[in-house]
DNA sequence: TTGCGAAATGACAACGTTGTCATTTCGTTA
DNA sequence: TAACGAAATGACAACGTTGTCATTTCGCAA
């Protein structure tokens, strides 16, 4: 039928319409300066008229690269938004798009499985966002020709890794307490399987032990306010408890509410520090001092690391992005 | 050099190594049942030995499709996480990967621009997540051969759209107040440019007007608790204010705190409803009744809509995902 | 005008798959 | 054992680009 158009307009169609060769059309796209202006205009008109759009597959096939970075989300949490934001912005800036796959709820995805799936997709390199332990972490070997960066606090034997310095952040918070004259610091953890929680706990322990202080038994939470509240009720009964480090702000708020309900004041009676600095969004005039990680920066670094390693996939590096202590008034100075 | 291997292993290399034809290797991958078991094993061994990985570009070029859906993030907010989660899970389930690009901070991206960039990437269809107005919304025409779904509360003349029923959710909350004997409802809005905020306000207005109630002047907030607190201080002085609908939970909490600071009790003196049902994460024993939208479901619907439309890109539909009122105890029953 | 080097353009192969169609091999029955 | 249909395999073209190298055209000086 006359109305039955060919589905896709190719460079060849454009070339014919413009009365030039295929290669000239290619040049108009890739090296326009090497084409005379009059020719360029003809080609542009033809492209416009036919509605030409370059074919990604053909182009990639010839070039041997895709201009895409794969992102595997093993876990999608609040902080992940900002991280993805950073990855996406950095990718954009460097002319890359992102190809994304996600571990499905309930599914148990290994690194090897993730790598296998990713390597079937259009990617030049990949980023794994891994916030929980995974079975094959230590034995995993990335494809030799596909730069792989893992966002995780653990060190990996062969892959580059990028992480917030969670341990350092926790240490910083603890030292802040100690430098303000506190003799001990209690800790409320997040979910057991979370690497963030584990690292924060580790930093807390290390900071105390470095001063010769025996860390008290940590209280187990689950990230939500109610678990912090429960912990707070327990802590309110401990006479030696002047400082509490909670593994996130929501639990810190729970702790503070429990203390208040028990007749204790923050910071006069007990000082509290949280993590993530997000309480101000929900609580008016929030006083909570908090350790904030720069998730956006983390994403940017991860992407840059991948791009930098595209030519040398087997290179290996370790990047730590430091946290920041956002000071408010939930910590009392016991000195003097 | 002897150690200098060819960069990429092709099906041809596998074929030679296995002593079969190129096409047989192809068949082992795509229709394994049509290959004798002994042959299949030979091929598999060869693939293993050489480290073969199918070339995405070549495959897509031949097939004329990518198995990827493009996602354009005009705006990356909290609720977006769950939505992306839904999109990704649904994609996974249907055998699609996601290709993602993001509007960069400060950049002013139009729909046309987004479509242009996406159509250079490996995608069979695309989803735009659009939560704020954009200049060319009404005039935009999607590429004829690329199914396009826009996640937005506005209706679009030619594209399919998917949205939470924000207006309906707000109406539901208002009617809940009215059915509990309240004679009027005050409203605290989110950021002016947010379509969510606009729709929620519209639903609030509609519900009141439907009962012949003149809506009071809405109070302008910015999504954060402090702005809710400010609004709450104002509302505390209005004797006729028994019910407040805040455009999100954080502001609702701000309102509640202000009321409390002014000596008013929730729900005894004033009733409050919020949106998004996320206060319980941060506040222990939260009492806030809230309208919750099913963002995950929204993502799933959007993806399904794209996939369903792959064969008929010009089809057009409108999907609304209803919200749910999560009842707690922040609303007082004034009847009886 | 002619000649010359540089600029612009073109012909053709190649990237690594899959579809079409032809050919070979196999298992079964006469 | 021959003959046959079905199953398995193979040869070759094609998808739409870009790189290589050859050819044509241009601008300028002699």
A284 vs B101, B225, B281: nearest CB = B225
What was the pLDDT predicted at A271?
98
Give the mean model confidence (pLDDT) for residues B34-63: 95
Q: Do A89 and B73 touch (CB under 8 A)?
A: no
Buried b (16+ CB within 10 A) or exposed e, B258-291: bbeeeebebbeebbbbbbbbbbbbbbbebebbbb
Please, what is the average pLDDT of chain A? 94
Task: Summarize pLDDT for B66-92 with one digit per residue, the tens.
Answer: 999 999 998 887 778 899 999 999 999
Least confident span in A124-128, A207-211, A308-312, B290-294:
A308-312
SS3 call for A67: coil
SS3 call for A97: strand
Q: Which residues touch strand C (CB under 7 A)?
A: A 19-24, 27, 33-36, 38-39, 58, 61-62, 64; B 8, 10-12, 22-23, 26, 29-30, 52-55, 58-59, 61-63
For residue B237, pLDDT beyond 50: yes
* CB B188 within 8 Å of CB B245: yes
Q: Place B7 in a pLDDT band, splitting at 50, 70 and 90.
A: low
Q: How far is the CA of A42 from the C1' of C2 (A)?
A: 33
Phi and psi for B4 in degrees, rounded to 5? -80, 95
What was the pLDDT predicted at A3?
33
* Token pair belonging to A309: 């390693």
Question: Which nucleotide shows the minimum CA-to-C1' distance to residue A23?
Answer: C10
Give the mean model confidence (pLDDT) for residues A118-135: 94
* CB B8 within 8 Å of CB A145: yes
How crowded is residue B214: how many other Cβ atoms within 10 Å of its Cβ?
7
* CB B71 within 8 Å of CB B129: yes
* DSSP symbol at A48: H
A168 against B6, higher pLDDT:
A168
Strand partners, B290: B274, B326
Residue closest to D26 C1′ by Cα: A36
How far is the C-alpha of B241 from the C-alpha of B182, rounded, in Å? 9
How far is the C-alpha of B127 from the C-alpha of A67, rounded, in Å? 20
What was the pLDDT predicted at A80?
84
Q: How far is the CA of A58 from the C1' of C13 (A)?
A: 15
Q: Place A4 in a pLDDT band, splitting at 50, 70 and 90.
A: very low
Q: Which residues touch strand D (CB under 7 A)?
A: A 8, 10-12, 22-23, 26, 29-30, 52-55, 58-59, 61-63; B 19-24, 27, 33-36, 38-39, 58, 61-62, 64
For residue A1, pLDDT beyond 50: no
Q: Do A88 and B77 touch (CB under 8 A)?
A: no
Using CA atoms in the order B312, B295, A86, A222, what is the torsion angle rounded to 10 degrees? -150
B53 vs A66, A119, A280: nearest CB = A119
Task: Summarize pLDDT for B240-257 with one digit per residue, the tens.
Answer: 999 999 999 999 999 999
Task: Summarize pLDDT for A142-182 with one digit per residue, the tens.
Answer: 998 899 999 999 999 999 999 999 999 999 999 999 999 99
How far is the C-alpha of A199 from the C-alpha of A177, rounded, in Å? 18
Mutation for A interface: B6, B30, B56, B297, most A CBs within 10 A: B56
Q: Specify the residue for token string 């209280």.
A: A219
Give the mean model confidence (pLDDT) for residues A103-117: 90
Q: Do B250 and A281 touch (CB under 8 A)?
A: yes
Give the mean model confidence (pLDDT) for residues A315-326: 96
Covered bases, chain C (protein CB within 7 Å): 7-20
Q: Place A7 in a pLDDT band, splitting at 50, 70 and 90.
A: low
Q: Do B84 and A76 touch (CB under 8 A)?
A: yes
Report which secondary-structure segment, H or E, holds A40: helix A37-50
| Contact residues on chain B for A89, CB-CB shorter than 8 A | 102, 104-105
Q: Place B336 in a pLDDT band, splitting at 50, 70 and 90.
A: confident
Residue in chain B closest to A91 (alpha carbons) equals B101
**Sign, CA torsion B89/A292/A204/A227:** negative
Burial level of A222, CB count in 10 A (0-12/13-18/19+)? Answer: middle
Please, what is the average pLDDT of chain B? 94
How far is the C-alpha of B176 from the C-alpha of B167, rounded, in Å? 14
> Percent of chain A beyond pLDDT 70?
98
What was the pLDDT predicted at A78?
73
Q: Place B105 in a pLDDT band, splitting at 50, 70 and 90.
A: confident
> Percent of chain B beyond pLDDT 90?
89
CA distances from B299 to A121, A136, B197, B233 (A): 22, 31, 20, 37
What was the pLDDT predicted at B71?
97
What distance lies between CA A218 and its chain's CA centroid? 27
SS (H, E, C) A103-163: CCCCCCCCHHHHHHHHCCCCCCEEEEECCECCCCCCCCCCCCCCEEEEECCCCCCCCEEEE
How far is the C-alpha of A25 from the C-alpha of A35, rounded, in Å? 9
> Percent of chain A beyond pLDDT 90?
89
Task: Summarize pLDDT for B186-224 with one digit per residue, the tens.
Answer: 999 999 999 999 999 999 999 999 999 999 999 999 999
Q: Do B284 and A257 touch (CB under 8 A)?
A: yes
For residue B155, pLDDT beyond 90: yes
| Contact residues on chain B for A225, CB-CB shorter than 8 A | 280-284, 286
């Amino acid at each position: 039928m006359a109305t039955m158009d060919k589905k896709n307009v190719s460079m060849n169609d454009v070339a014919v319409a413009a009365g030039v060769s295929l290669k000239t059309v290619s040049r108009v796209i890739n090296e326009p300066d090497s084409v005379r202006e009059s020719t360029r205009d003809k080609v542009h008109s033809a492209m416009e008229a036919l509605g030409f759009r370059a074919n990604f597959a053909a182009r990639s096939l010839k070039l041997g690269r895709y201009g895409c970075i794969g992102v595997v989300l093993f876990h999608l949490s609040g902080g992940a938004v900002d991280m993805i934001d950073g990855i996406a912005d950095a990718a954009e800036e460097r002319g890359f798009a992102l190809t994304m796959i996600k571990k499905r709820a309930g599914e148990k995805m290994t690194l090897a499985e993730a790598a296998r799936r990713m390597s079937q997709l259009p990617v030049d390199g990949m980023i794994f966002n891994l916030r929980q332990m995974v079975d094959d972490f230590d034995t995993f070997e990335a494809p030799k020709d596909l730069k792989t960066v893992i966002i995780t606090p653990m060190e990996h034997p062969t892959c580059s890794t990028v992480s917030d310095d969670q341990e350092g952040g926790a240490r910083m918070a603890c030292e802040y307490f100690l430098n303000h004259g506190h003799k001990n610091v209690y800790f409320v953890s997040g979910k057991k399987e979370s690497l963030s929680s584990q690292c924060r706990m580790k930093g807390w322990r290390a900071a105390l032990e470095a001063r010769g202080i025996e860390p008290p038994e940590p209280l187990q939470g689950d990230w939500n306010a109610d678990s912090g509240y429960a912990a707070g009720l327990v802590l309110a009964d401990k006479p030696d408890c002047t400082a509490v480090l909670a593994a996130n702000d929501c639990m810190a708020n729970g702790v503070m509410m429990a203390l208040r309900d028990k007749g204790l004041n923050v910071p006069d009676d007990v000082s509290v520090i949280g993590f993530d600095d997000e309480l101000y969004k929900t609580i008016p005039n929030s006083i909570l001092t908090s350790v904030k990680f720069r998730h956006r920066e983390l994403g940017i670094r991860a992407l840059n690391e991948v791009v930098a390693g595209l030519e040398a996939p087997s290179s290996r590096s370790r990047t730590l992005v430091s946290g920041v202590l956002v000071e408010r008034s939930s910590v009392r100075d016991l000195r003097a």
